[in-house]
Structure 1
């Protein structure tokens, strides 16, 4: 019944036109505030998916690293057991070490990553080759696959360089202060190609043969830097992690992709929540308009309130009428905003209306991803803010004691 009263009050003509104006201003403010909030969250979702997609090209589903130190030891029997764990699709052994890469006068500090033949089954780096091919060679004749930024830094064309590059790696446990060069293992290596994924990788990594790196570092046969694993179903990565951790024990640390990049994902989530909080202030401003509109409506309907009191309506019934009026304004504004956001997001996905400035991005337009949970979050926010805003004039209406006729 109170909802029916609220609907009639909304449709009915008011003696003061300002009430209609302020009501529609609050609806329009709610509409644009809701649409803006959903669209910004959708853009964040789009960029988050883009970044996660780029990082998933380089980081594996699951990674095994030593609990302490830089190297882990895995025997052939252990590796066979790990490969047979339910859910494991492929396992690749890798070693990473900081190195120095030189081409005449051009030079760059790099992270040299030795990978085995199963590496292409664990990551999709090979799908991001822009020059040449993905070929790390053999332990005797290694080849380098350069990040695109490294390729530019050392001034080579990875698919056609004539002269090999010089690689310097620190010798394990050997330091000669009188001649620091004696503490470095040096070799010359040709390049086979270059990859372009994301600046964090393109400007840092050079991939090569695992055996070659282990030889330069004087590593034992069963020693590795890490084991990178691809799982059959990425959604089961957490389950596979638990199985591997139980199998390996406390001397090893098994990490999911999220745990390998926890700081990155945490920052992205924090940014999203900060933007959500800031844009929610638009809805708060709209709520002030709603308070004004409902307060004026209470003054407009004083006689109606008096009649309702006279025929036995309780204070709570009067309060619910104006609370329903506030929810009605919020529903019209918030619902319209959601439909507007959905329409704009669809148009952006289909027609790429808003481009990204510059040529350094992998895509030319703002990415958008519609998430139903964002609609639920924003809808709940609109309702809560509207209820708080409507409560003030609703309480005032319920407390009114009016005399319908005076002598």
Structure 2
């Protein structure tokens, strides 16, 4: 260890007359610690919310969607076959039929999008009330006598006042021509399943039926409203979408989930960046404390600096002494803040629940956000970015005081001593 490090460490240990400077040093370390910890926790929470919202969106939205301009897709089986050949990343390629409709039951009305889907659709991977996905699919595709099955969201079922096994009347925007005029087309369906509400608006908007039943009921025999593609990873949607756009000519329209809801997630990313900048000011304030501490030490140690210069220490060594001192404060604060922030972010859910029990208040309402636990995901890149930013700010804060110390004239400093 060079003498520059030794002198830097010695200046951090205050003598009796310099206790005030030592206290300011500890305040600077605490400021950097709190700033770094706050940044890590907030970024982890924002990342958790971002992932939670994305999961809610992708619960009912396909990774890639193919539709046809101006109407339904005729001969969709050939399109499904072509997509499966061109997209090896596809886990599932499912046609569907959808149409807005009204549901009527027990004098109650609800507006939904009736969607005809095939067996094995990813919709059946979400939790259902009082039944499993196998039971729901068996009831929906049984083909037994009686009304066909329909799967509703919890909000829709609550609005209609129905439960499993009850009957609802589906009224699409189609009419039968009779001698008495136009009569709305209506068909009874039996509730085969109710999926749990996760807070997303899409959960309450869709009602699912068998694809064949939907085609017959909505006068779409041999047609599909679109084709949904599920990929191995949602991150592949952009390149797959571009590939399909190049291979499928007009009038086919190919959209990724980012095209449909990407603007909302982009707003969350922008909010995350804004919070990073705002909370970074906390670290900046702590860096000003470091600069203030070093300036006071330079003023206090002007005799020591002059003696060192007279003993042969050059200006570069004096500069290094005070830069090292600032880096020690910044490194301690950054290390402690990183440890504190990662610990708090990693245990955010039990901490929030503990505070709720202790204070008897509701801090995080799971029903509102549709998430089972408080979202907090520690991203290694975010932690590294926060630590590097804090270290750079602390380093910049040491430059001016260290430069002033290195420019001090030993003759002037000792003239009146």
TM-score normalised by L of structure 2: 0.83
SS in 1 for 2:192: strand
In 1, distance between residues paired with 2:10 and 2:70? 73
Superposed displacement of residue 406, structure 1: 3.1
8 Å Cα contact 2:176/2:185 also seen in 1: no
The 1:6–1:96 alpha-carbon spacing in structure 2 relative to 1, beyond 3 Å, is farther
- Of 383-392 and 211-220, deviating more is 211-220
Question: RMSD between aligned alpha carbons?
Answer: 3.1
Q: Unmatched 5+ residue regions in structure 1?
A: none
The 1:240–1:297 alpha-carbon spacing in structure 2 relative to 1, beyond 3 Å, is same
In 1, distance between residues paired with 2:63 and 2:395? 45
- Of 306-315 and 101-110, deviating more is 306-315
The 1:141–1:247 alpha-carbon spacing in structure 2 relative to 1, beyond 3 Å, is farther
Superposed displacement of residue 102, structure 1: 1.2
Superposed displacement of residue 244, structure 1: 3.1
Corresponding residue of 1:160: 165
8 Å Cα contact 2:116/2:213 also seen in 1: yes
Residue-by-residue CA offset, 1:154-203 (whole Å, 9 max, x unaligned): 1111x121xx32222123xx899xx9x93843322222111114231232
The equivalences for 1:125-274 within 5 A come to: 125-132=124-131, 133-135=135-137, 136-137=140-141, 142-157=148-163, 159-161=164-166, 164-171=167-174, 182=182, 184-199=184-199, 200-219=201-220, 221=222, 223-232=223-232, 234=234, 236-274=236-274
SS in 1 for 2:98: strand
- Of 90-99 and 310-319, deviating more is 310-319
In 2, distance between residues paired with 1:264 and 1:20? 48
- Of 201-210 and 339-348, deviating more is 339-348
Superposed displacement of residue 74, structure 1: 4.7
Residue-by-residue CA offset, 1:127-174 (whole Å, 9 max, x unaligned): 3211454344469953210011000011111x121xx32222123xx8
8 Å Cα contact 2:173/2:184 also seen in 1: yes
The 1:400–1:142 alpha-carbon spacing in structure 2 relative to 1, beyond 3 Å, is same
Corresponding residue of 2:385: 377
Corresponding residue of 1:395: 403
- Is 1:406–2:415 an aligned residue pair? yes
The equivalences for 1:313-352 within 5 A come to: 313-348=313-348
In 1, distance between residues paired with 2:128 and 2:156? 14
8 Å Cα contact 2:155/2:197 also seen in 1: no
The equivalences for 1:54-65 within 5 A come to: 54-65=56-67
Q: Unmatched 5+ residue regions in structure 2?
A: 357-362
Superposed displacement of residue 353, structure 1: 4.3
Corresponding residue of 1:81: 82
Superposed displacement of residue 241, structure 1: 3.5
In 2, distance between residues paired with 1:184 and 1:311? 102
The 1:142–1:364 alpha-carbon spacing in structure 2 relative to 1, beyond 3 Å, is closer
8 Å Cα contact 1:113/1:207 also seen in 2: yes
